Amino acid sequence: MLGPSSLRHSRTNYNRAVQKTAREELLLNLVRMRYDQSVEFLRIPSITGQYRYDMDLAGSWKDGKTNLPSLLGMGMQSKPTIVYTPEQDQEFNRRLMAPIQSDTIKLLASKGWRIDRVLMLTVQNINDVENAISAGGPTPKAKPVFEEFQYFSNLMRELQVNDHSFEIALKKVVTDEAEQIGDPIPITQIDGEALLLASEKGYEFHTSEDQQSATLWRNEKKSSEKFLRFAQSSEESFEVREICRILELDPGLKEFQIKRDLDGQLLRPHSRRYPYGKVADRKELIISTRSLKETMYYLSQPIEVPQEHIDKGIVEQTINPATNCPFDWQDIFKGLFRVQSSKLPPLGAAVAVKHDGYWFYIDENDIDSKRTFNLMLELFNLEIRAGGGAQIPLLTL
């Protein structure tokens, strides 16, 4: 293929290669986390593909006559140059460890992703209801607390499929009320420069009724805040009543402001911490989100580790204290995520990597696991690449 034809041949091939290796890299890092090993990401800042075509035609001249070509040669060379850069800079690691933005959750929930899938991956606590917090790090020794949050996320999913009976929307709210500053000033002492300076600083003068004096006021401040709003038709539904009960929300309200846990959860504790009296109903949702690294740890827990490695003590095994038996992580991740393992290369795998003598893979027919894996990739792109933590490869042909 010569000239522009080479672009049609190479562009899609490089595209597939970048996509395939990115998926394998993420799965490999999840497996490493399950084995308590460090993760590593390689960025591809540029791909340069050079093509060379050669054609040789040789003949002979004898007795004034030209003989037919005795030698015809053709050749093609492809010299791709791929640059790899380890992701070890401070900005990349800061974004990897920073809590996932609530704007990201709002975007995913409004663009077709299942709300229960988004909540289970990204949120670790809402109104002091825990979502397997200990699973956001190395494999815990004891079973995490997750049942109530899982029930809540399933209720949200029921509302989502029921004619979109809730939404996460922006609303203007007053953050600072208008306030009078100082005593009245004679109107003759206020010139144009004072009016301009006051306006630039967020103040304005209110003139008295007799037009003889004016008072300086600080303007009211508003900001756009996120709210969870239930549809009017679903306010009395079983799902909404249960959600209000679990999160201790005021059932008389139609919308609840979403706030980050800047002050933690304990300043507004759940009533289970007060066995002798119920706390007042809440008017807001206090959300603690996982970081990308915590989300990766979370998804590494259901990886099916070979029994050989468990027997050797290579990996931690979580115990259910209630039964004193190994905890089955599929109690949390059933219908959400599963990574299988095999001694032999798997057939029909959507993505597979080899680690410590075994293949770890997501089955091609496991649609739920593939979608959760794709959501993890989407979170990585939104939180890291879209924020400047990594760059899209530059392809030069």
Report d(CA 347, CA 363) in Å as an integer: 8
Query: What confidence score (pLDDT) does residue 396 get?
Result: 47
Strands (E), the chain: 42-58, 61-62, 65-66, 71-86, 123-126, 129-130, 166-176, 179-186, 203-207, 213-218, 221-230, 255-260, 284-289, 319-320, 325-326, 340-342, 349-355, 358-363, 394-396
Q: Confirm whether 383 is domain-assigned.
A: yes
Least confident of 77-81, 205-209, 230-234, 378-382: 77-81
- Helices and strands of the chain, counted as H and E runs: 11, 19
> 40 with 109, same domain?
no
Query: Do 99 and 244 lie in a common domain?
Result: yes
Residues 29 and 137 placed together within one structural domain of the fold: no
Domain-located, residue 158: yes
Q: What pLDDT is stored for residue 13 in this prediction? A: 81
Query: Which value, to the nearest 10 degrees, does the dihedral of the CA atoms of residues 327, 333, 334, 336 take?
Result: -170
> Do the Cβ atoms of 39 and 27 come closer than 8 Å?
no
pLDDT of residue 371 exceeding 60, the answer is yes
Least confident of 22-26, 48-52, 238-242, 381-385: 48-52
Question: What domain range is 49 assigned to?
Answer: 5-53+73-86
Average pLDDT over residues 109-127: 92
Same domain, 308 and 209: no
Number of domains in the chain: 3
**What pLDDT score was predicted for residue 6?**
63
Distance from C-alpha of 367 to C-alpha of 362, rounded to nearest angstrom: 9
Are 94 and 208 in a shared domain?
A: no
Residue 79 lies in a domain: yes
Per-residue pLDDT band at 193 (split at 50, 70, 90): confident
pTM of the prediction? 0.80
Residues 12 and 158 in one domain: no
260 is a domain residue: yes
Q: Which one has a higher pLDDT value, 360 or 173? A: 360
For residue 26, is pLDDT > 80?
yes
Is there a contact between 23 and 373 (Cβ–Cβ < 8 Å)? yes
pLDDT at 167 over 90: no
Identify the residue with better confidence: 59 or 86. Answer: 86
> Is 340 within the bounds of a domain?
no
Share of the chain above pLDDT 90, in %: 46
Question: Same domain, yes or no, for 304 and 199?
Answer: no
Based on the domain organization, do 9 and 127 belong to the same domain? no
Task: Specify the pLDDT at position 170.
Answer: 85
Residues 129 and 233 in one domain: yes
Whether residue 282 is contained in a domain is answered as yes
Does residue 162 belong to any structural domain of this protein?
A: yes
* Residue 323 located in a structural domain: no
Q: What is the DSSP letter of 384?
A: I
Whether residue 343 is predicted with pLDDT greater than 50 in this model: the reply is yes
Domain co-membership, 136 together with 13: no
Judgement on whether residues 247 and 201 belong to the same structural domain of the protein:
no
pLDDT band (50, 70, 90) for residue 29: very high
pLDDT digits (tens, 9 = 90+) for 6-15: 666 677 888 8
- Which of 217-231, 265-279, 361-375 is most confident? 361-375
Instruction: Give the pLDDT of residue 379.
Output: 92
Q: Are residues 248 and 384 in the same domain?
A: yes
Task: Determine the pLDDT at residue 57.
Answer: 62
- Higher-confidence residue of 158 and 87: namely 158
Region 80-94: what's the mean pLDDT?
82
